Amino acid sequence: MFKTGTVFRGTYFDAGPMGSQAHTALGILRWTWKTCLPKCIPGKELPRVPLILLHRPLCSSQLVPPLSPGSSPAQTVQHGRRELTIQSLAEMGFSESQAEMVYEAANKTRCKHDVPVLTVLFSLGLNPGSVLKILEKCPELYSLNEAQLQQRVLNLRKLGLLEGSLQRVISHYPRILSFPVKRVNTVSRLLREKCQFTAQQMADILRDSPHVVEEEPARLEYMFQYVYFRMGCRQAEMVKAKLFRLSLEELRCRHSFLERRGLYQTPDKKGQTLILNPRLKDFLSVPEEIYLTDIANATQEEFDVFRKLVAREQEEEEQDEEYSDDDDDDEKDDDDDDDDDDDEVTQRHMSSKKKTNQRAKMPERH
């Protein structure tokens, strides 16, 4: 840590928060410079190296090897990797204890060299403390390569998660970087095309409920249809209520409880009801205690009993569906047997008819 009034190579550093940030940034820059340039390109060769080759090492962990005599920089550039050590992590801004934690976790995932996820997360402007928390929540990120991570971050930006929102989502739910681009795009396409959310509404859903990328598309679509048709709510209301933060079971339970108590009514075709329904966000995006006291006017015991009844009804419905499927299969088998019997009878009839015709055509003997 620089003291107040310290001048380092012509730069004045303050000991306040900005000074601390400058110190961290300087440490990362120093580590990157030591890692990439001095070992990669001799000083006398710098004028010959294209600017793009100098820029690339400063934003990634891929190193450029020394130039071979008689060859151009473009011909001799190959990828190298630097060994990951506690010292290298400390130079990036991690404290000693943080560096040890990252080093141990990286070794468990067999990452003995520089970890691409560190480069990507630091490029998003996250500090070492936030990076450590992200990796503790989702250690799978250690095993991903830089190209995968950069592609997934870029895709999230394309879907509307801009600066600030992107960092918050990754910090809160880092697993979103562990899903392939195809999976995330499948969910976003469902929200846009089948659920008819706007681009901004879809971005808000990803920001407020990033775990939707884990859900099965059919389940998400059913949840949307339940709220849209059964409860008569529109897309804007769903986004404000942060609908997808709740499970489908909890959604149905809260809605059915209000409905059976006469506090919620499905709108008619004109969108009208005989009673004033509570707003969706007032009973979905609130804790259960507030839901019971302010909206349902019920006790916790009553709601617990109702929840058990709903669970039992759900089990019975699933069993009925299973029995119905079995009956359909049996009926199909019976139909197949009947068809076989009909074919056999038809064949006998045709054979008998053919013999009769042959007898009729035979000349009479005199």
Q: What is the mean pLDDT of each run of 10 residues along the chain (366 residues)?
A: 48 51 60 50 46 42 42 35 79 90 84 75 94 93 91 96 94 96 97 96 96 95 96 96 94 95 93 93 94 96 94 84 66 59 59 52 46
**Structure confidence at residue 141 (pLDDT):** 92
**Structure confidence at residue 107 (pLDDT):** 83
Pairing of the two strands 11-13 and 6-8: antiparallel
Please give the Cα distance from 55 to 34 (Å, whole number): 14
Which pTM value belongs to this model?
A: 0.67
Range of the domain at 228: 179-326
**Structure confidence at residue 280 (pLDDT):** 95
Contact between residue 169 and residue 156 where contact means Cβ atoms under 8 Å apart = yes
Q: Position 92: which residue type?
A: M
Listed in sequence order, the residues at least 6 apart from 298 whose beta carbon sits closer than 8 Å to its beta carbon are 257, 261, 292
Identify whether 362 is part of a domain.
Answer: no
Neighbours of 246 (CB within 10 A): 17
**Structure confidence at residue 151 (pLDDT):** 96
Identify whether 300 is part of a domain.
Answer: yes
| Alpha helices per DSSP H over the chain | 17-40, 51-55, 73-76, 86-91, 96-108, 116-123, 128-137, 146-158, 165-172, 181-189, 199-208, 217-225, 235-240, 248-260, 280-284, 288-290, 300-361
**Structure confidence at residue 182 (pLDDT):** 96
Identify whether 228 is part of a domain.
Answer: yes
Identify whether 287 is part of a domain.
Answer: yes
Identify whether 3 is part of a domain.
Answer: no
24's tokens: 């961290």
| Domain total of the chain | 1
Identify whether 65 is part of a domain.
Answer: no
Q: What are phi and psi of 81, to 5 degrees?
A: -135, 140
Please give the Cα distance from 125 to 137 (Å, whole number): 19
The CATH number given to whatever domain includes residue 238 is 1.25.70.10
Identify whether 188 is part of a domain.
Answer: yes
Identify whether 93 is part of a domain.
Answer: no
